[in-house]
Amino acid sequence: MKTVGIIGGTGNIGEGLARRICLGGKYDVIIGSREAPKAVTAADGVVCCLKEKKCTSTTCSGSANADVCSADIIIISLPFERVESTIASIGKEKFENKVIVSLINPMIRNPAEKYFLPDRPKIGSAALAIKEMLPASAKLFTAFNNVAAGKWMQLDEELDYSVAVCGDDGEAKKTVMDLVASVSKLHPLDAGPLENAATIEGLTPLVITIAMRNGLKDVGVYFR
């Protein structure tokens, strides 16, 4: 069975992802953290959830971020400003030839005025900036960017959103799309090369703004 590693997996999105992926029954998960005990605690929560849901086909463990790089697919679930230092602390060489997924959407937040804006790096997107931090052999993709953050831990609710997947390696993209399709009822869509990541990342602040200004909650993105 393939393994998915989540760097920064102790937050609600990371732990929710871990639970949803394990419940899909096709991947084991390793949760990573700067502090290994925090990752172990989060993984224990996932294991308890799997027992409650009577899911016995997959498992979850917790460890330091560096150990996550043994996984077949690596998801980076961190604030953008922490990515470069985290990669440096792990060691760039650990990401050689790896399939890596970014779900990061840098934003300028103004909740008092009820709007959020994209906060793109000079290169154009978080994904393109992260690509420059990684070895040339690493295969970086965007996915899960526009799933409502509040929905990940609500396991009794199906996730039926569209998930745009951007990236440049066709074979590895199929691997990422298979992962997306294993989670609840998410529907993966090929969104073209990594250069399109800026558009995908910019949808999330727009969706949050629409939700806040129109009294909506956990708004998702659908392409139908």
pLDDT tens across 44-76, in order? 999 999 999 999 999 999 999 999 999 999 999
Cα separation, 153 vs 150, whole angstroms = 7
What is the distance of C-alpha 172 from the center of its chain? 16
Q: Name the residue among 137, 193, 183 with its Cα closest to residue 160.
A: 183
The full DSSP string for 151-215 is GTT-TTS----EEEEEES-HHHHHHHHHHHHTSTT-EEEE--SGGGHHHHHHHHHHHHHHHHHTT
The tens digit of pLDDT for each residue in 148-205 reads: 988 999 999 999 999 999 999 999 999 999 999 999 999 999 999 999 999 999 999 9
pTM across the whole model: 0.96
